[in-house]
Structure 1
Amino acid sequence: MDVSQSLASLIEIVWLDFLLSGDNAVMLALATRALPQEQRRSSVLLGTVLFILLRAALAFALLAYGRLAGVGLVGAMVLIWGAVSLARRGETSAAKAPLRSLSAALLACLAMDAPIALQNMVGVQAAAQGSRPLIQFGLALSIPLLALGSAGFINVLRKPPLVWAGAGLLGWLAGQMAAADALVLASPLPLVYTGEFAPPAGAVLAMALAYAFWRARDDKGVGLQQGRER
């Protein structure tokens, strides 16, 4: 990887980490709201440690097994899913009963964070193109962003038109990752076409799906508002 490729990968990783940073502080606050004050304080520290360990485990697993046949194709699907998830950020879920134990609250937060962490680390792996230092940089950068997931300057990246650019980046990396998978490389498909066609096709697919989900959410919100006015 030459200097220009490394710089491009570095920019992509920074963008992905900001784009896919989880709203972990908010999740912890909601999950532990029924716990005593002392346990709520402990949950912040323990939760942050668990979130970091989860990302570290995913990053090193991808480093170890990322070149196995089929992993790139699965990773591509995860990134397309991540593009759709961008459009769904901010959706309100049904209210749940508050959790009464620290362990249950931490497990609930870990389960909610797992998809975001997976998308984040797969995206970093795709952007880094197997470079261990870049993957380690992406992991290190994601750690301080765990507490800033709902910060105003990060939320700007999750709103149109920048959210479509972010979805396009995820789709581009998905196509790049799929084209480099061992199963695709071993197929009779011409490598020139797969290498050149897959990234832009992935970007278009990701942006189209993200836009479709965004419009569906907006139409649903308008419908609910009109129903209340009646």
Structure 2
Amino acid sequence: MSDVTPEPVAAPEPEPAPGYVAAPVPGVLLGPRSPLLMGAIGVVLVIAGVANCLLFNMSPGGPVEGVLAYGSGFSWLLTGLALGIVGIVLSRRGNAAMVGRPGIDGLSITSVSLAGAAVVVWAILGGFHFLQRVLTGVEYRYMEDVNGAFFAGIPWMLAIIFGAISFREGRSTSNLLSLIGIGVGILLLIPTLASGVIYGLHLSP
């Protein structure tokens, strides 16, 4: 006789009874998006875009400087108009709450990630040198100072857009991440506009 003990066979799972409905995935009630936040961001970006283009016109610049100035200015302007239009549509057509999955929203994480990427690109391609010039008083150079802002434009504006879209009542952690992404994007406007002021006042070549 063999001493091998046969392995137990698992019993088949019982089939659900007719009419059985699986329990739904638990969700949380999310508040509406914020048209006011979108509108406020839109106004800031539109004003910044127009100002950046006007500041460049105050000083005769070369074609490269023009591409950098108008490229950044128009990207801010278009992003601001888009957010403003979305905010107006949401406020007029209704902006109801919805049931969503619990946890952190993926768009808010994307917003922070893109904002961080924009800061890195801005710093490497000119932002760090601009800050050095501010602290040391070395002569400013417009093309070098705004180069990073120009090439960081896509992740920069997307960080603001995703942050504004993902902001909803009832998501404290996600909203915090969204506001960080938006805040970093707005703060990056300051050194770029400062470079425009310096260039417009003929204080940098």
Fold match, TM over 0.5? Answer: no
Structure number with the bigger relative contact order (C-alpha 8 A, sep ≥ 6) is 1
Relative to the length of structure 1, the TM-score reads: 0.26
User: Which has the larger helix fraction?
Assistant: 1
Relative to the length of structure 2, the TM-score reads: 0.28
Choose 1 or 2 for highest CA Rg: 2
